[in-house]
Amino acid sequence: MSHPLSGQLIAFGDKRPVLGPQTFLAAGARLVGAVTLGEGASVWFNTVLRGDIAPVKVGPFTNIQDNSTCHVASDIACVVGAYCTVGHQVTLHACTIGDETLVGMGATVMDGCVVGNQCIIGANALLTKGLRVPDGSLVYGAPAKVVSSLGAVERGKLRASAEKYAKLARIYLGAAASD
């Protein structure tokens, strides 16, 4: 009988994925090379995190949803902070996403971008190479621009979004354990 994650965790040379406790990988998710998932992180259906030429690091209780891609450049890692929500079909390429940030569905974040803590990146936004986004910003458009600052209420909801997905992942983990 094969390991339940057989085919989902793929070594690249001497680089191997490292999973924190209570992480969840949905069917079709692939982690390649130097990928690290923090405690309670979840990677959803058909998502690829590829740390072949530099590391991919995903913080605790962060979710990377269906059909998304996280990749790197030769000298730039892809780092996603704690309690982040990365929506469906997002591309994160050699960038840094701060804690408690939501990246909307279909967004693309390019090489060298640094997104601060507690930000919202709107659906289908295109963050071009090297863009810096201050903490607490609302960003949208293609090319993306900071359009406003988030209020305390909006910022307070960002962690809750990630916590909902962490709870959902625990339900999936429980279902898998009972199979």
Instruction: List average pLDDT for each run of 10 residues in the chain, which is 179 residues long.
Output: 67 97 97 98 98 98 99 97 99 99 99 99 99 98 98 96 97 76
Q: Within 13 A of 82's CA, how many CA atoms are on the CB side?
A: 5
Q: What is the pLDDT of residues 18-40, one digit of tens each?
A: 999 999 999 999 999 999 999 99
The CATH number assigned to the domain with range 9-178 reads: 2.160.10.10
State pTM to two decimals. 0.94
Query: If we measure between CA atoms, which residue out of 32, 27, 33 comes closest to residue 5?
Result: 27
